[in-house]
Structure 1
Amino acid sequence: MSHPEGLIPCIGSVLWDLIGRHPHTMRRGDDRPGTVTRLPGGVAMNVAQTLVRFGRRPTVLTCIGTDPEGEELIAACTGLGVDTSLALRRGDLPTDRYMAIEGANGLIAAIADARSLEEAGADILAPLTDGRLGDADAPFDGPVVLDGNLSEALLKEIATSPFLAAADLRIVPASPGKALRLEPLLRLANATLYLNLEEAALLAGVEFLAAPDAARFLIERGSARVLVTDGAQPAADAAADGLITGQPPMVEPRRITGAGDTFMAAHIAAEAQGHSRPFALEAALQAAATYVAGDDT
């Protein structure tokens, strides 16, 4: 089955982001003035809304409550052009939330409350098995975004699932704290991993000085393709046919949360349009830099 109507399933967290920002450097224990915003977030959602901006058609496979926050979230996603028609709705689970504090020196702290997504488990994947996106006779064979907010048990199930064996899996950990959950997916022949340097080091069990070293190491350990970013330092894209690097544009950072998801979405969109690996890497780095430098309006 070719992917229905060009849809790109984004599997993982769709929740409310509560982000507090202070324009100067912050330290542990600081109490500072700033701005607090609430907006649709979660890795799957962040990637999906960036895919929309690049002209693609994402649909989210996630769990969203039927509580008032869930109804607001569905409306907000629809307003951003992200399809939620295949999302699992549960009346017995609250809509998930994420809270972060950012300063001029980056992310200070964050807590992700994705309990509902984890509890819903494999039920969120039903559209891939019941014919809406694919089934046993015709599994989905287009790009699929997969984020590490899913439970370890579900990620292990996905690693051996025939319903995703033909897909172009694009995988992101969601955070360094969840990177090790991806271990069952590391050596899948149809997987592309999007990691930052810290996440790559955790998965490899080795400290790296630079992104190219990390990407090359993971390929040597059996991964099919790995992209590694390192903030303002060079990023790398490694695969069996070689390694390429790219230098992120220099910008003054004004926001951090969502930058990696923007990088991933821009990269997927560029390759979906048929662009080369070097072009896609440069396009993704430019998109992420533009996001980081942008204001909050």
Structure 2
Amino acid sequence: MTRTPDVLCIGAMLWDVIGRAPRRMAPGADVPGRIRHLPGGVALNVAVALARWGLAPAVLSAVGRDPEGEALVAEANRLGVLTDRLTRDAGLPTDCYMGIEDSEGLIAAIADAHSLEQAGAAILSPLDVLDWTGPVVLDGNLTQDLLDAIARDRRLARADLRVVPASPGKAERLEPLIAARRGCFYLNRLEAEILAGRACPDAASAAEAVVARGAARVLVTDGPNPAAEAMAGGVTLTHCPPSVTVARVTGAGDCFLAAHLSAELNNLPRDAALTRAVEASAAHVSGKDVP
């Protein structure tokens, strides 16, 4: 029988190809380093992190029936992710993300999510047989048209939406959800500034600025600086991450979201949930997996 998930993660499931150099890189640099092939995509990254917190997450995404897709599904299953609700199209290749990191962080990245975009609303078909009222993680790799449709989708009318833009370049895709006053948003400061329409000096002011635009609740990270949570009619919280040596960057925001959501599903108060999220993200950046 198909297992009922605790959380639905809707968005990208692909292979990450991450090249990392142990020192700073200038434009055009050609340096020695390490290249890793890892299961990735925001939806899958969050699902894997949720599974580590003891939850049963399912991913709604598009994965090809090519060898890359078969290997990706097998690895996701091994990591505790439910994959029986995926859209599998033999005519679509499995998507891929390529990133370059140095000792200071992300240098550049390209996300090839064309198969996810082409699949479109087909990835939501499992909702037809799910009376879903639980948490749903949405990532900005979905097209703006699909995000707009999700904001009005009756099948998700009672869902607890948790929204992440995937990258600053995709932050504006979230406007329909802000306009609909749907969801809790997880942003870095640059993404929050894009949605706020202005520069902000810190995470707290950035989170408050997005709330002022209409979002009910916003969490903002700012690298090694304090993270913040703001909500309409509530007190803004902040928490400073511990100082760590940077070993990786890709996926830190996904770890933050998963730790925060798992904390709230375990009924931790707002301040404790924010603390768990900040510390889990810092541990990920340092090269550790938590819990």
Measured against the shorter chain, the TM-score band is over 0.9
1:254 paired to 2:247: yes
How far residue 27 of structure 1 moved from its aligned partner, in angstroms, is: 1.4
* Aligned partner letter, 2:122: D
Give unpaired runs (5+ residues) of structure 1.
Answer: 135-139
Per the alignment, residue 43 of structure 1 pairs with 42
TM-score, scaled to structure 1: 0.94
Matched with 2:273 is: 280
Cα distance between partner residues in 2 of 1:91 and 1:196: 36
- After TM superposition, the structure 1 = structure 2 runs for residues 82-121 of structure 1, keeping only pairs within 5 Å, are 82-121=81-120
Partner of 1:16: 15
Which of 194, 198, 207 is the aligned partner of 1:206?
198
Kindly indicate whether the alpha-carbon contact (under 8 Å) linking 2:151 and 2:182 is maintained by their aligned counterparts in 1: no
Corresponding residue number in structure 1 for 2:136: 144
Matched residues in 1 for 2:6 and 2:225: separation?
33
Q: 1:228 to 1:295 in 2, by over 3 A?
A: closer
Which residue matches 1:191? 183
Please list the CA deviations of residues 191-232 of structure 1 after superposition, one character each: whole Å capped at 9, or x if unmatched: 100000000111111111101001111212211100011001
8 Å CA contact 1:165–1:190 kept in 2: the answer is no
1:175-204 CA deviation, whole Å, 9 max, x = no partner?
A: 001000110011444410000000011111
Of 272, 277, 284, the residue aligned with 1:291 is 284
Q: Partner residue of 1:137?
A: none
The answer as to whether partners of 1:167 and 1:190 remain within 8 angstroms in 2 is no
- 1:237 maps to which residue? 229
Rounded Cα–Cα distance in structure 2 between residues aligned with 1:222 and 1:177 = 20
Letter in 2 for 1:9: L
Deviation track 1:11-47 (CA, whole Å, cap 9, x = no partner) reads 0000000000111111111000011110100000110
Rounded Cα–Cα distance in structure 1 between residues aligned with 2:288 and 2:259? 19
Give the direction of change, closer, same or farther, for the CA distance of 1:161–1:104 in structure 2 (3 Å limit): same
Moved over 4 A (4+): none
> 5+ unaligned residues in a row in structure 2: which ranges?
none
Equivalent residue runs for 1:114-133 within 5 Å: 114-129=113-128, 131=129, 133=130
Q: Is the 8 A contact 1:235 1:247 kept in 2?
A: yes
How well do the aligned residues superpose, as a CA RMSD in angstroms?
1.2
CA contact (8 A) 2:19 2:35 kept: yes
In structure 1, C-alpha distance between the alignment counterparts of 2:58 and 2:92, rounded to whole Å: 21
Question: Aligned letter for 2:185?
Answer: L
Q: Work out whether residues 211 and 234 of structure 1, in 8 Å CA contact, stay in contact via their aligned partners in 2.
A: yes
Aligned ranges for residues 170-181 of structure 1 at < 5 Å?
170-181=162-173
The correspondence for 1:167, drawn from 156, 159, 177, is: 159
Which residue is equivalent to 2:261?
268
TM-score, normalisation: structure 2: 0.96
